Structure 1
Amino acid sequence: MKNNNSNTKLILLHPYIQKQGSSNRLWLLAFVSFFTLAFLLTLIYTRESTNTAGSAAAATIGSSTFGGAPLPTTVINTLIHYASISNHSFHMSYAELKQISDVLRKCSSPCNLLVFGLTHETLLWKALNHNGRTVFIDENRYYAAYVEEKHPEIDAYDVQYTTKLSDLHELVASTKKQIRNECRPVQNLLFSECKLGLNDLPNHVYEVDWDVILVDGPRGEWPDAPGRMSPIFTAGVLARSKKSGNAKTHVLVHDFYGDVERVCGDEFLCRENLVEASEMLGHYVLERMDENSFDFCRNMSTTTAPKAAAASSSS
């Protein structure tokens, strides 16, 4: 009888071989984990890059088709329409808004617009002067701060007027006496002591060559109100003192029915420069002048009252 145990073969695995197999599995697991992680990171990065590129492309398209171009006519007309039908008691009419809008549309781009007065139309002027520089000057420092806080895109500054409406004729006479000194038509008002010149505005206001100046402030028609003598005089000097850019400046005076607006308009903006006028809006076009000029108006007889001038011409 044969012993079956003699045919049995015993196979033993060396501990080193067992360790080697386990090590290979660990390396395989590490290799797969690494490439899985790399794949996930690549996927996330690619998705973020795609989104960023898409956003950048959208921004580029937006700036090229709208941001860098003038506002479309339909947008301008819509803005004017809704501004004119506002329930605000002191808003401008459609005709007034349209007249000012037409001036801004003809302005070279970018247009520099200076506005005296923070009013119901403030946001409209900022919007219509798309891509241009728009600066607002107001007599109420608290309201100017409020507007800037509520609308950070608005660039507003306050000014302290030292004039009184009741002193209109005295101030005009005093200014005319100093026309060759402190109240010259061509000068840097930052260093001027002229009573009607505004010399406490931010420095850069005097450095900008303004294309359009709108006088719609300060508010008030009572005797102690500051009146618009200083803004009108300042507008006349800024327009004539331009250093570069377009030689012409459009000056628009709102509430043109007032004595201050008429008298100061005749004296410092000049009737010879008046291209369009109604009871509510006067539109002047002033040209840059030589620094040695000392007359605001070429034809000094333009300061004659309208009725007197008409009577003399008929005779």
Structure 2
Amino acid sequence: MRAKPQYPINLKVILISLFFIFLLFLILRSNFSYSQQNSSSIPSIQSANSQETNPKNCPNLTPTCTKISPSLAHALVHYATLNVTPQQTIKEISISLKVLEKKSPCNFLIFGLGRDSLMWTALNHGGRTVFLEEDKSWIDQIQRQIPSLESYHVVYDTKVTQADELLEIGSREECKVVSDPRFSKCQLALKGLPSEIYDIEWDLIMVDAPTGYFDGAPGRMSAIYTAGLMARNRENGETDVFVHDVNRVVEDKFSKAFLCEGYLVEQEWRLRHFTIPSHRTRLGRPFCP
């Protein structure tokens, strides 16, 4: 998921500023809520042990002294000193952020490694965020800058020009069978991912790669189908799946066909959010509701 065409510099500054104001708001709100809870639940202990609850280096403004997570601190510095913006708009990011606020720390799988990857890792602090990227040289470049990111190289054997053919293949019965993608008989299923990718039950999956904006590009046909199959094949619960760039034909058609309009929760410009339940907990559940 390489960087896409950038906005004019003034818009960049505005977007970056708004993004970090929003992050700081969340941090302050969290700390304020935490301090309120402590002050209401154990007032006598706090007053009797003020020396213990307020470490030497902490100001006596709140009952406790807390720090932001290292991943968030790293992200703040990284984006404050970077002259490019995240690859999604603030409104698009906010859709995924709402889910992360409820589910994190969680397992978050992202198709694509890009300028926004450190942001997603920071927002899922304490969870596991994994990136799947088609371009090995891009992985090497990003890992030199941010070695803490967990990413894997993926080889795709499709082309955007095959999209119509693959959409027809996806309508066949073998592609409606819910199973581990490694053992699926559907041509659309990605079978060459690292084994642990299949073994983990992902709480969130975002499809923002591979490249799909020209005919010779791999396209996101298999990534979208596999994301839906992983979500259906989890033992129980549900998976939130996000698809970016749904203004394009492939992302539009394949997300509707394999993530299903009946599972569509909301859309913000180019981002669609689907919530897909486990199909293993109720036998006979149709592929799409």
TM-score (ref. length: structure 1):
0.64
Asked if structure 2 preserves the Cα contact closer than 8 Å seen for 1:256 and 1:278, the reply is no
Q: Secondary structure at the match of 1:249?
A: strand
1:47-74 CA-partner distances (Å, limit 9, x unpaired): xxxxxxxxxxx9xxxxx9558x899xxx
1:180-219, aligned counterparts within 5 Å?
181=174, 183-219=175-211
Quote the sequence identity (%). Answer: 36
Q: CA deviation at 1:145?
A: 3.1
Give the Cα–Cα distance (whole angstroms) in 2 for the partners of residues 99 and 151 of structure 1: 25
Quote the Cα distance in structure 2 between the aligned partners of 1:95 and 1:84. Answer: 19
- SS of corresponding position for 1:119: coil
Match of 1:296 in 2: 287
Evaluate the alpha carbon distance shift between residue 221 and residue 203 of structure 1 in structure 2; reply closer, same or farther with a 3 A threshold. Answer: same
Q: Confirm or deny that 1:256 pairs with 2:246.
A: yes
Alpha carbons of structure 1 residues 84 and 226: separation in structure 2 relative to 1, 3 Å: farther
Structure 2: runs of 5+ lacking an equivalent:
1-56, 58-64
Is the contact between residue 114 and residue 213 of structure 1 (CA under 8 Å) also seen in structure 2? Answer: yes
Listed one character per residue, the Cα deviations across residues 204-251 of structure 1 (whole Å, up to 9, x for unaligned) are: 11111100101111123111111111111011001011124xx11111
Alignment of structure 1 residues 222-241 onto 2, 5 Å? 222-241=214-233
Contact in 1 for aligned 2:95/2:268 (Cα 8 Å): no
Q: What is the CA–CA distance in structure 1 between the aligned matches of 2:287 and 2:141, rounded to whole Å? A: 37
Q: Which amino acid aligns with 1:172?
A: L
Give the equivalent residue in structure 2 for 1:273. 263
How far off its partner does 1:295 sit?
3.7
Deviation at 1:132, TM superposition (A): 0.2
Q: How big is each residue's C-alpha offset from its partner over 1:151-180, in whole Å with a ceiling of 9 and x where there is no partner?
A: 221110011111111111110111211x3x
Unaligned segments of structure 1, at least 5 residues: 1-57, 59-63, 299-315
Q: Which amino acid aligns with 2:181?
A: L
Amino acid across the alignment from 1:253: V
Structure ID, larger Rg? 1
If the length of structure 2 is used for normalisation, what is the TM-score? 0.69
Does the 8 Å contact 1:276/1:283 carry over to 2?
A: yes
CA contact (8 A) 2:92 2:268 kept: no
Does the Cα contact within 8 Å between 1:84 and 1:92 map onto a contact in 2?
A: no
Asked whether 1:105 is paired with 2:101, we answer yes
> For each residue in 1:101-148, what CA deviation from the matched residue of structure 2 results, as whole angstroms up to 9, or x when unmatched?
1111111x4310000011110110011110000000011122223333
More deviation, 205-214/85-94: 85-94
Maintained 8 Å contact 1:84/1:97: no
CA contact under 8 A between 2:92 and 2:269: conserved in structure 1? no
> Cα distance, 1:264 vs. partner?
0.7
Give the Cα separation in 2 of the matches to 1:252 and 1:161: 20
